[in-house]
């Protein structure tokens, strides 16, 4: 089994309440998760998804279950998840996600711990960590772009140039 830690901070130019609502909206999440073919909300705090991912030479369909814990709307929650991809392997982990209002919009930060096993663990931790970090960056890029597109049609108190609506990465750090 290979263990990884990741963290990152992003500025999303929307209100904290809008970001919180989007982080809890299965339709938004399905559009933003790279390789997601389906996402179902089972309850207020449980989701199931199918995600196709390619990590090095291994391409697999992951069946993923995610539970939201420690909910403190609209400030933070913990995502706890597990994925299975048959012979390709499995993954499990958790991510603490925190939102805070800043002058530019909302700062989203996360700290995550993941473990992978099976063929995925045999590929090597650097390759798996790099692919995992890229997936997280792609998700937040998609998420920010989607929220920016939605906010273009929603009146705001202050005008913001469309190019400023894009995700600004502050301190992405992958281990």
CATH assignment at residue 141: 3.30.530.20
Q: What is the pLDDT of residue 171?
A: 34
Q: What is the pLDDT of residue 150?
A: 60
CA–CA gap between residue 46 and residue 152 (Å, rounded): 30
CA–CA gap between residue 118 and residue 124 (Å, rounded): 11
Lookup: tokens for 57:
């030479």
Note down the domain range covering 112: 2-174
CA–CA gap between residue 154 and residue 173 (Å, rounded): 33
Q: What is the pLDDT of residue 155?
A: 31
Q: Which of 52, 75, 74 is nearest to 63 (CA)?
A: 52
Average pLDDT of the chain? 82
In this predicted model, what pLDDT tens digit does every residue of 16-66 receive, in sequence order? 999 999 999 999 999 999 999 999 999 999 999 999 988 878 888 999 999
Lookup: tokens for 70:
């420690």
Lookup: tokens for 65:
């279950």
Q: Is the peptide bond before 40 cis (omega within 30 degrees of 0)?
A: no
Give the total number of structural domains in the chain: 1
Contacts of residue 84, Cβ cutoff 8 Å, sequence gap at least 6: 62, 63, 90
Low-confidence ranges of the chain (pLDDT < 70): 149-175
């Amino acid at each position: 089994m290979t263990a990884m830690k990741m963290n990152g901070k992003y500025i999303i130019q929307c209100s904290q309440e809008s970001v919180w609502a989007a982080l809890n909206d299965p339709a938004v999440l399905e559009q933003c998760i790279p390789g997601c073919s389906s996402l179902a909300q089972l309850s207020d705090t449980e989701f199931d998804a199918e995600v196709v991912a390619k990590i090095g030479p291994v391409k697999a369909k992951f069946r993923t279950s995610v539970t939201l814990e420690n909910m403190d709307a609209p400030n933070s929650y913990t995502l706890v998840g597990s994925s299975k991809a048959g012979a390709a392997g499995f993954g499990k982990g958790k991510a603490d996600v925190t939102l805070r209002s800043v002058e530019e919009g909302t700062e989203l930060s996360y700290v995550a711990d993941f473990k992978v096993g099976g063929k995925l663990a045999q590929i090597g931790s650097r390759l798996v960590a790099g692919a995992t970090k890229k997936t997280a960056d792609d998700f937040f890029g998609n998420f920010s772009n989607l929220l920016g597109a939605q906010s273009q049609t929603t009146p705001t108190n202050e005008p913001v140039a469309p190019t400023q609506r894009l995700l600004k990465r502050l301190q992405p750090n992958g281990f």
